[in-house]
Amino acid sequence: MRAVADDGVAYGTVGDDRPDAPVARLDLTTPAGDAKVLGAGVVIPQHTAVAGSGLFVTRDAHQNLLVALRPAR
């Protein structure tokens, strides 16, 4: 698990932390968790903040560090 939002939604990888591991969204407010595997290439937040914004940390094609704070959709 990488991040849990205020609304009870958690994001993380399935299995181990390989770069190509599938990512999933899990709704912790429901009894079953309502897990959903997200599509290939989906970037999940490293951290979440109040009102659902997410901090994303990735690398570009030249391995430069990219940091973005994005509001919830």
Residues 63 and 15: their CA atoms lie apart, in Å, by 25
Provide the CA 60 distance to its chain's centre, in angstroms: 18
CA distance 48 to 70: 10
Q: Is the pLDDT of residue 11 over 70?
A: yes
Contact 56, 70 (CB under 8 A): yes
Q: So what's the pLDDT on residue 18?
A: 74
pTM given for the model = 0.68
* Residue 48 reports pLDDT greater than 80: yes
DSSP 3-state of 51: helix
